Structure 1
Amino acid sequence: MTDVQAAPPAEEDFERPVPAERAPRKTAPIVPAQNIAGRALVVVIAIMTFLSCVTFGAVTLVRDTASVWENQISREATIQIKPADGIDMEIALATAAGIASEFDGVKGTRIVDRAATVRLLEPWLGSGFDIGQLPVPRLVIVTINEDSPPDFAAMRTAIATAVPSATLDDHRTWVDRLVAMAHTTVTIGIAVLALMLSATVMTVVFATRGAMAGNGHIIEVLHFVGAEASFIARQFRNRFLFTGMKGAAAGGVAAIAVFVAFSWWSSRNMATPQGDQAAALFGNFAIGSAGYLGVLMMVVVIGALTAATSHATVVAYLSDLEAGQADV
């Protein structure tokens, strides 16, 4: 019996070891995601955004309140009749009211009676006094058509001729002062916002330069091996956009919380002296949908401004770097 020698195994029968796939190496970001400067910048941007939103909301409140005052005052004029010897106050009031009601543009007249006059004077004179024993002027309220106001000069002359002790006040002086105050407030608010945005820009510039100084050797190597300035600037812009939006969102939410809290306080303190005074000056502290939209726009603007400032700072730095290399 002959031995049959087995054939050697073929080369393909051996299982070759398959090299394990090498895990991709994680690259460190040029701008660290978490560092002390980044957290401090978030806090600074949050504070700046909060102050900017509060300023914007305050300007909105004052402007809206001044507009309400202007509309209320422009709807009415007042005839004041002072007591004088030989004058019958009731007849004088009726005469002045009748003359005013004859002019085009007058919707109606209302004589402030003795009881209403007493109520107006009670905060200063107390209750229980006799108005007939005091030389207190009496008033006639004239309701005006805002779209077609009357000729106040002619009305003033006619009333003064019939009732010499009567004077007509169309409140133009108060309206002009309110308009001037509103314009001044808006101007001051815009100036304050501009200063805050400028301070935010300068803060971002210093923060960007600080981040670049901490990673300067990496940036220079990337730049000299061919990395484009736009690539490096984009890394900073994305990082600072995230930082700016996070800080701006925190500041905007805090500002909205302040306005909501003041609005709640105003609603809870209605019909109280402090509540009435606050409502007379600032309304109900409600900035409305336009105010909240403005706060949202402020958050977006500050976040975009942070990113744009960082981008411009990096591009300027790299341009100076190239210029210095060319001089060498």
Structure 2
Amino acid sequence: MTDAARPAAEATKPAARRDAPAKTRPTPIVPPANVAGRALMTVIGIMTFLASLTLGAVTLISDTASVWESQISREVTVQVRPDDGLDMAAALDTVRKVALGIPGVASAEAMTDDATSRLLEPWLGEGLDLDELPVPRLVLIGIDERAPPDFAALRARIVAAVPQASLDDHRAWVSRLVAMANATVVVGVAILLLVVVATVLTVVFATRGAMSGNRHIVEVLHFVGARPAFIAGEFERHFLKLGLYGALAGGVCAVLVFLGMGLWTRSNQATPEADQISALFGSFAIGWTGYVGVLLTVAAVGGITAVTSRLTVTRQLAAIDMLSPVES
């Protein structure tokens, strides 16, 4: 190419670019971001947070109830009440020896002074002198789960050896706790169902609002031949994104709450408050089943949001067809 022809060729390039067709993205039926969408995402995040907390609490309480039921068959307690002229150390040792002589008893150990003081610390404070207080002392008896002893015979032998002693197998107390835990699980499941219903209703109203705001576009597309599945798919994809983003934020917040509670419990194990919480709920660890449950909750909320919006749009389009029949 000569030097004279080069400027002419360069001059034709901008014109060629202007003549080339520009590639544009199709305009979505539903605006990708608006105030209503952000509000819906926030509501879904709150709903998912509450649902995840409820699911984690139900998992935690259910696991704790199973541990309580298992402890019934693993350990019983003998309480020795103080009495005038009673040698507490000798009485505790007698109870321990009698218990070990009963078939089905795996172990027997008197609770130490430090352990007893720590047990009473939330109510009586620190620095207790057990020799100056009429405090009952405990002997912890381990039970062979495969061949438990005859508790009536065990109680009779211990009382005969030490009249101030009494056997407590914790069955009545633990059975009440287990019943309360099962009732809590039922309440938790009911709360989960209410959260799901509230989420569905919220998505229905949000979808109807989005269709009302874009009614002219939806009607034009519908009457020129756009299939209902296409229009419903546009809304479904839009609300699926909102649902997943909101649900993911709520699920992450719930996981952080459980991790924070577990960290606080582990870092405060020496305090009476943490000991009481650990005795009731363990270490607040929901385990891998709880975390999988939170993940499934996030996915379920996203799916419910998408399916609900699709069904709502389909029903609305059917209503438009009924109100505006096409004349042949």
Same fold (TM over 0.5): yes
Q: Note the C-alpha offset of 1:26.
A: 4.3
| Cα distance in 1 for residues equivalent to 2:28 and 2:128 | 81
Q: Note the C-alpha offset of 1:27.
A: 3.2
Q: Which runs of 5+ in 2 are unaligned?
A: 1-14
Superposition map of 1:280-319 within 5 A: 280-319=279-318
Q: Give percent identity, aligned residues only.
A: 53
| Cα distance in 2 for residues equivalent to 1:242 and 1:322 | 28
Mapped pair 1:33 → 2:36:
no
Task: Kindly indicate whether the alpha-carbon contact (under 8 Å) linking 1:108 and 1:144 is maintained by their aligned counterparts in 2.
Answer: yes
- How has the CA–CA distance of structure 1 residues 271 and 94 changed in structure 2, closer, same or farther, with 3 Å as cutoff? closer
Mapped pair 1:124 → 2:124:
yes
| Cα distance in 2 for residues equivalent to 1:323 and 1:193 | 36
| Cα distance in 2 for residues equivalent to 1:118 and 1:311 | 63
Q: Which runs of 5+ in 1 are unaligned?
A: 1-16
Superposition map of 1:47-126 within 5 A: 47-83=46-82, 93-112=92-111, 124=124
Q: Note the C-alpha offset of 1:28.
A: 1.9
- State the secondary structure of the residue aligned to 1:197: helix
> What's the CA shift string for 1:268-302, capped at 9, x where partnerless?
33323444344334433332222221111111010
- The aligned counterpart of 2:260 is 261
- How has the CA–CA distance of structure 1 residues 130 and 161 changed in structure 2, closer, same or farther, with 3 Å as cutoff? closer
- The aligned counterpart of 2:199 is 200
- How has the CA–CA distance of structure 1 residues 182 and 159 changed in structure 2, closer, same or farther, with 3 Å as cutoff? same
- State the secondary structure of the residue aligned to 1:142: strand
- State the secondary structure of the residue aligned to 1:252: helix
Task: Kindly indicate whether the alpha-carbon contact (under 8 Å) linking 1:104 and 1:150 is maintained by their aligned counterparts in 2.
Answer: yes
Q: 1:234 is aligned with what amino acid?
A: G
Q: 1:37 is aligned with what amino acid?
A: A
Superposition map of 1:144-223 within 5 A: 144-223=143-222
Q: 1:269 is aligned with what amino acid?
A: N
Aligned-pair RMSD on alpha carbons? Answer: 3.3
- The aligned counterpart of 1:5 is none
More deviation, 273-282/42-51: 273-282
Q: Note the C-alpha offset of 1:223.
A: 1.9
Q: 2:29 is aligned with what amino acid?
A: I
Task: Kindly indicate whether the alpha-carbon contact (under 8 Å) linking 1:70 and 1:178 is maintained by their aligned counterparts in 2.
Answer: no
- How has the CA–CA distance of structure 1 residues 141 and 265 changed in structure 2, closer, same or farther, with 3 Å as cutoff? closer
Q: 1:124 is aligned with what amino acid?
A: L
Task: Kindly indicate whether the alpha-carbon contact (under 8 Å) linking 1:38 and 1:243 is maintained by their aligned counterparts in 2.
Answer: yes
Task: Kindly indicate whether the alpha-carbon contact (under 8 Å) linking 2:29 and 2:234 is maintained by their aligned counterparts in 1.
Answer: yes
Q: Note the C-alpha offset of 1:220.
A: 1.8
Q: Note the C-alpha offset of 1:87.
A: 6.7
- How has the CA–CA distance of structure 1 residues 33 and 263 changed in structure 2, closer, same or farther, with 3 Å as cutoff? same
- The aligned counterpart of 1:7 is none
Task: Kindly indicate whether the alpha-carbon contact (under 8 Å) linking 1:110 and 1:142 is maintained by their aligned counterparts in 2.
Answer: yes
| Cα distance in 2 for residues equivalent to 1:149 and 1:308 | 54
- The aligned counterpart of 1:279 is 278
Q: Note the C-alpha offset of 1:259.
A: 2.5
> What's the CA shift string for 1:181-235, capped at 9, x where partnerless?
2212211211111111111111100000001111112222222222222111111
| Cα distance in 2 for residues equivalent to 1:259 and 1:119 | 27
- How has the CA–CA distance of structure 1 residues 297 and 313 changed in structure 2, closer, same or farther, with 3 Å as cutoff? same
- The aligned counterpart of 1:12 is none
- What's the TM-score once normalised by structure 1's chain length? 0.81
Give the structure with higher Rg (CA). Answer: 1
- How has the CA–CA distance of structure 1 residues 121 and 224 changed in structure 2, closer, same or farther, with 3 Å as cutoff? closer
- State the secondary structure of the residue aligned to 1:32: coil
| Cα distance in 1 for residues equivalent to 2:114 and 2:301 | 57
| Cα distance in 2 for residues equivalent to 1:126 and 1:25 | 76
Task: Kindly indicate whether the alpha-carbon contact (under 8 Å) linking 1:74 and 1:175 is maintained by their aligned counterparts in 2.
Answer: no
Q: Note the C-alpha offset of 1:46.
A: 1.1
> What's the CA shift string for 1:100-144, capped at 9, x where partnerless?
33333210222446786677667638757573x765444332111
Q: 1:237 is aligned with what amino acid?
A: E
- How has the CA–CA distance of structure 1 residues 117 and 231 changed in structure 2, closer, same or farther, with 3 Å as cutoff? closer
Q: Note the C-alpha offset of 1:156.
A: 2.5
More deviation, 251-260/39-48: 251-260
Task: Kindly indicate whether the alpha-carbon contact (under 8 Å) linking 1:78 and 1:141 is maintained by their aligned counterparts in 2.
Answer: yes
- State the secondary structure of the residue aligned to 2:148: coil
Task: Kindly indicate whether the alpha-carbon contact (under 8 Å) linking 1:74 and 1:171 is maintained by their aligned counterparts in 2.
Answer: no
| Cα distance in 1 for residues equivalent to 2:20 and 2:118 | 92
